[in-house]
Amino acid sequence: MFDPHSPLFPPIEPSRHGMLAVDDIHTIYWEEVGNPDGIPVIFLHGGPGAGLSPQHRRFFDPERYRVILFDQRGAGKSVPVGECRHNTTQLLIEDIERLRRQFDIEQWLVFGGSWGSTLALAYGQAHPERCLGFVLRGIFLCTQPEIDFFLHGVQWFYPELYEEFVAPIPETERGDLLGAYVRRIMSDDPAIHWPAVRAWSRFEGRRVFLLPQPEDEPCDALDLGVGRLESHYMANLGFFSDDQLVRNIGRIAHLPAVIVQGRYDVICPPLSAWRLQQAWPGSVMRMIPDAGHGAMEHGISRALVAATEQFWRLRAFD
């Protein structure tokens, strides 16, 4: 049921949706929402591997925006779920460009949260001429310190979750916790990989929100996508060179950007958002004082909607 007090726009169904084969392995799901004559925007979900939610359509006024959303390789309704072969940041960027050409869009606003912010920055730096601007949430720059925090630093805030996460790994393997999990998650034996992907997904999912939320029903596709793709991308440092996204910020520094960050985000801590904003003087930071990582936390979703509303007003009077 629609909540009239929510900052989001009312629920909406896609006007079109379909599948796009991007290579011999992967076929990705896409959908289009809103006004076909509106401001084009590409929505990039998190994870990697988390996939789309119907809620993601609701950050945009459907009268003013033409929204393209898609499940990235191995995620959501894209097939095969959890597939790591032919799955790199550079290939995801190529997929975004395929979609842009398919929809005959010259330029679009790039909107992404968490891993979606990572991919948004990488896409923008590869194709700045295709970007109108950026709305970014829960910044993740995919550096080694951020990955170390994701895996180990969280024990300072959630020691019980950390203890639960490391418990299945023998002490002799805990010196390389990521490697230990990757070996199990990528195993061909379901008796080995299913417990590992579920443990990984639970380790992340239970610290998304500042305040505890009812746990969702288990979802095998989500657990497999998140567990396999997150560990795959972290093990490869996102397929980036050292601090690449900050070093290359000059390629998009001329474009407008709003950065929305939860003060108490223990998945993507505020230091990364601060570093990005410091390197990007034209960007605007919205630090939400009573939020964690979740896009649907009230203060974060309100700030994201305000950012999309501000952007169309700027375009209207451009």
Active site residues: 114, 265, 293
Order of strands, sheet of 257-262, starting from the edge strand that comes earlier in the sequence: 16-21, 27-34, 65-70, 39-44, 108-113, 131-137, 257-262, 284-288
- Residue 82 has which token pair? 């959890």
Residues 141 and 243 sit within 8 Å (Cβ to Cβ): yes
- Residue 60 has which token pair? 């945009």
Which residues lie closer than 8 Å to 179 by C-beta, 6 or more apart?
Answer: 173, 235
Residue 135: strand, helix, or coil = strand
- Residue 131 has which token pair? 């970007």
Rounded distance between C-alpha atoms, residue 253 and residue 234, angstroms: 26
Strand residues in the chain grouped as ranges (E)? 16-21, 27-34, 39-44, 65-70, 108-113, 131-137, 257-262, 284-288
Residues 41 and 116 sit within 8 Å (Cβ to Cβ): no
The label of the residue with tokens 């393209």 reads: 68
Rounded distance between C-alpha atoms, residue 167 and residue 156, angstroms: 17
